[in-house]
A and B are shown apart, each in its own frame.
Chain A
Amino acid sequence: MKAYDVIVIGAGSIGIPIALNLAEQKLSVLVLDSEHAPSQENNKKAIGGVRATHSDYGKITVSQRSIEILKSWKENHGDDLGWLSNGYSYPAYTPEDEKKLKDLMQVQLSFGLNIKWVMPEAYNELVPGIMMDELRGSTYSPEDGSCSPLLTAMAFYFNAKRLGVKFQFCEKVTGIAVNEKTIQEVKTDKGTYHCRMVVNAAGNNARSISQLAGIDIPVTPDNHEAGITEPVERFFGPMVVDMRKRPGSANFYFYQNHEGQVVFCITPDPSIWGVDNRSTSEFLPMCSKRMLEIYPRLKFLKVRRTWRGQYPMTPDGFPIVGRMKECPDFINAVGMCGQGFMLGPGMGELVARICLDTLTESDHRVLQSFNPYRDFSGMEVFK
């Protein structure tokens, strides 16, 4: 029977960076994934936006680190991830939204984030032609950015492989034997493995994987739909997040990626729980209407492709990360709530430090936000 230091379950936006970081620390790592290739579940469906401008210390710290890693990846590793420091913006069209955003900005500024309020005219320079009627201004965080989830996943994957990480695809984990709080073995439909630690990075399947170790965690996927257009010359800067609600949808957002393509995504309201990757006829009319409402210039842009994916949600919108009391060698890194891509690189380092017991003081503070044993009654200010 083969033995590894760590078995990572899930080769996605979280699992691959974790494996890479563990291999960098000379641990032997096996990554198991039930798909045919890396990042074939929700990782490849990510939009590509990466922001540090969240509302609490945990997410801010982890994604700030992600930005550092992604931004300097080409310099350090050679692969072009299509990184753009194009920033994020949350335009406000109502006094309530303006207040909400400005209140949050105070929190974000207190964490040292680079974010400012821009007046409508200035915003119109960032996003030329944006709907000015009722526009009250917008947040703008120029250090946030974007890169290709596909190129990123592949760069991390090949680097991990080069460092000796073993990836096994089309292999489903069927059992995790735990005895006296220690992991005995990991069973799959193809074999049985020994390991010191198991990291659950199984995205949509986080809950059922955790249950194999006898631990229940509240992770439930809900469906989101996204699309991408043809490429055109760059014509606007930041990610635009429209936080207003409309019938059928909560917020939606779009940006222009490094290829010149506009990528867009919408959050259905009410949520559509479950996993159903089939596209519905409602998405394109609903999302394109909202896009043209806020940005009429997009009207000539041709839609190339649409897709559906899931946010593995937790009740309060924060990830579940840490060693589990029921079995301290079983580590959850799950429930990314649709932010796995932007949290991934930073999370990879953090979880490696969990495995190696080298957590820093800041890490402990970060992990408070992601504590698996919190009461989940809180709610993120907004996503």
Chain B
Amino acid sequence: MEQHRIDKHPILPEPIMDMITFYWNGKPLSARKNEMISSALIANGISVFGHHHKDGTAQGIFCANGQCAKCTVIANGIPVKSCMTAVKENMIVTSAEGLPELPNDNEPIEFTEIPEIVTDVLIIGGGPSGLSAAIELGKNNIKTLLIDDKTELGGKLVLQTHKFFGSEEDSRAGTRGNDIGKLLADEVSKLPSVSTWVNSTALFVFADKKVGIIKDGEYILVHPERILNAAGAREKFLRFTGNHLARIYGAGAFQTLVNRDLVKPTQRLFIIGGGNVGLIAGYHALQAGVEVVGLAEAMPQCGGYKVHVDKLKRYGVPIYTSHTILSANGDEAVESITIVAVDDKFKAIVGTEKTFSCDTILIAVGLDSLNEFTLEAEQAGLPVYAAGDALEIAEASSAMFNGKIAGLLIAKDMGAQVGNIPDEWYIKANILKSHPGRILPYQDLSEARDVFPVIHCLQEIPCNPCTTVCPTNSIKIEDESLMGVPLYQGKCIGCNKCLLICPGLAITLVDYRKDIEFPTVTIPYEIGNYPVEPGQMIQLVDIDSIRLGGFEVIEVLSNKSRKTQLIKLKVPASLATKVASFIVQPLEVSQPLTTPIVPELMADEAMICLCERVSVKEVRNLIREGITDLNQIKAITRAGMGPCGAKTCEVLIKGLFREEGIPVSEVIPNTKRPVFVEVPLSKFPGAKKRS
């Protein structure tokens, strides 16, 4: 069977293809040794993993993170979450059809003592903020335990194949996210007072100040003096017709499948949400050889950085602003998407529907801080701190910085001699989390001669590696703030360093030195699936994706350490400074169907709770009856009672309250209870088979 895998990735190393055989509904399939069952299935082109016991609709991967149970399959007779269970040689895997049967295994069990561990600080989450905090605590020799539920430290950094924004000094800007994760983890590993546990999920901070943790499948209680919640964020979901279909998921799941597991879950992707997360996921999809059919954003402008928007647009991905998703269409899994224009009140404008054929829809409409551990620790009376997205949703560059601050604050509170945290750190932390600012016109380069960079980065964003990398110090930001727009001034030597470091791939080099009429333009490039070779004709575009004509590539330079290619062309002098990049994705990819598919189902038939298959209508009716307590809505409809524990529906229901004119401040939230993720009963008493 054809394998849906990413064989070649411009950034990521080739995976080890040590193949084994497993069985899916009786059929032998091949998998990479120890990959998750879900990834093995997706690599074999299987996206429907079973059918829901309530309404028989299809289920498949959703969170790819062990938080929900939509990817449940039966592995060797046992119902498991396929995204958290490694596939084994000859494993018998079957789809979960309705309620699973518990295996008829009555073998008695022996128990072991639950280990209890004491530490000064427990950091929950080994992403950018947790690791940065651990480094500061380690430097102060404070006994710290850092846990992370993944198999590798780095958190979402692991999934980031793009170069980072921010500044080199504070947040390693210009280095790729996955490399930063490794650098931070390396630094932590050298600190003797810090222990790290991967594959370890925190379940709850109990009233007796102990934190229940499942480490490599074993239950352990950790008793910390202080807790740092660096557990990140969770993605928001949307209400739309067909939102329960298989092959609809968030950017986190997509990046896990593509960038961690190197499987190709989709051939044709449509993205909802024009924040940085959606935009970057689109870029990652292109890098993985996925056709990105389009991206829709409900606001009149994308909220993400302009350089990300520009990058997608000029590679040939249309961006539909003031558009939202009307429906996901398909029988069991997504076969197409219908989007619709919205007015200034975000109401759909009838008659503007467009339908695109696609097999997957990625929802990237924002994040919510994961605050459970903070609240639990507070209730238990344990001193607790938060950093990164768990504190406030912002870029990873900011997370690293506020993690560092949190680490020092904890060290200080524990009596370490760390002195005062400089005010400028707080200022920097604030700048790093800034939203993009003004968009300015291009710099006037009419006086520039010989060789010089053209900076297509016109929006104020917290980023400056081009200024620090320039050997002649010729790129500057006014008043040296991180937020300003970089300007070229001085003497360029044509070293290309700024092109290679710019995370937005937003700098080109124009060189008149050899030919004043036909200068050489150099463009940074890193989408290996659309290889570019000397002699090839490519369609150049300007910053607004306006076509400038076809030109022949004269040279392709590969830079091993930066993994960015440099594409050189000769263009007429009149175009040289306009060239921003070139089209890679053919126009046909993003054409809508001639007749849009407008759903017959009312929007209120959409699911608001996917776990328990509760419709928007059911909940809206209760809100209209005057119910304002989510616990009561849960009692009546079961919304929030499923495996994910209201992690997805709570935000959607609150949105519905807002829509009905009831302020969220008047809504009583769901009571949060243990456990954070579902865990087999046998883990708690430390059960093992009787010897």
Contacts and interface: CB of A to CB of B under 8 A. Distances in A.
A40 interface: yes
B556 to A, nearest CB: 52
Contacts of A299: 105, 109, 680-682, 687
B104 to A, nearest CB: 7
Contacts of B105: 129, 296-297, 299-300
A38 B632 contact: yes
A276 B380 CA distance: 11
B114 interface: yes
Nearest to A43: B635
Nearest to A264: B681
A296 B106 contact: yes
Interface stretch (B191-199, B323-331, B667-675): B667-675
Contacts of A36: 628-629, 631-632, 668
B636 A293 contact: no
Contacts of B686: 285
Contact of A151 (B210, B635, B678, B680): B635
Interface stretch (A190-198, A230-238, A372-380): A230-238
A270 B579 CA distance: 78
Contact of B207 (A131, A150, A276, A285): A276
B102 A233 contact: yes
B435 interface: no
Interface in A70-85: none
Given A281-B212, A285-B219, A260 B99 contact: yes
B108 A305 contact: no
Given A235-B101, A278-B380, A306-B674, A153 B635 contact: yes
Nearest to A297: B106
Nearest to A293: B109
B111 interface: yes
Contacts of A211: none
Contacts of A230: 69, 79, 643, 678
Interface in A146-177: 150-151, 153-154
B625 to A, nearest CB: 9
A306 B675 contact: yes
A278 B204 CA distance: 11
A301 interface: yes
A281 B208 CA distance: 7
A300 B114 contact: no
Nearest to B380: A278
A281 B634 CA distance: 26
- Which of B114, B206, B632, B671 has the most A CB atoms < 10 Å from its CB? B632
A299 to B, nearest CB: 4
B546 interface: no
Contact of A285 (B629, B635, B674, B684): B684
A296 B109 contact: yes
Q: Is the interface of B mostly helix, strand, loop or mixed?
A: loop
Contacts of B383: none
A255 to B, nearest CB: 14
A302 B680 contact: yes
B208 A280 contact: yes
Nearest to A132: B106
A37 B636 contact: no
B67 to A, nearest CB: 12
A299 B636 CA distance: 30
A279 B206 contact: yes
Given A44-B635, A154-B635, A232 B102 contact: yes
Given A233-B101, A279-B207, A285-B684, A300 B79 contact: yes
Nearest to A300: B78
A178 interface: no
Contacts of A306: 673-675
A307 interface: yes
16 contacts: A37-B668, A44-B635, A129-B104, A150-B636, A154-B636, A232-B100, A281-B212, A281-B221, A285-B685, A296-B108, A296-B109, A297-B103, A299-B680, A300-B103, A300-B105, A305-B673
Interface of A: 36-40, 44, 128-129, 131, 133, 150-151, 153-154, 229-233, 235, 260, 276, 278-282, 284-289, 291-293, 296-307
Interface of B: 53, 69, 78-79, 98-109, 111, 114, 204, 206-208, 210, 212, 219, 221, 379-380, 627-629, 631-632, 634-636, 643, 645, 668, 671, 673-675, 678-682, 684-687
Given A233-B102, A281-B208, 9 more contacts: A40-B631, A129-B105, A232-B99, A232-B100, A278-B380, A285-B684, A288-B682, A300-B682, A303-B680
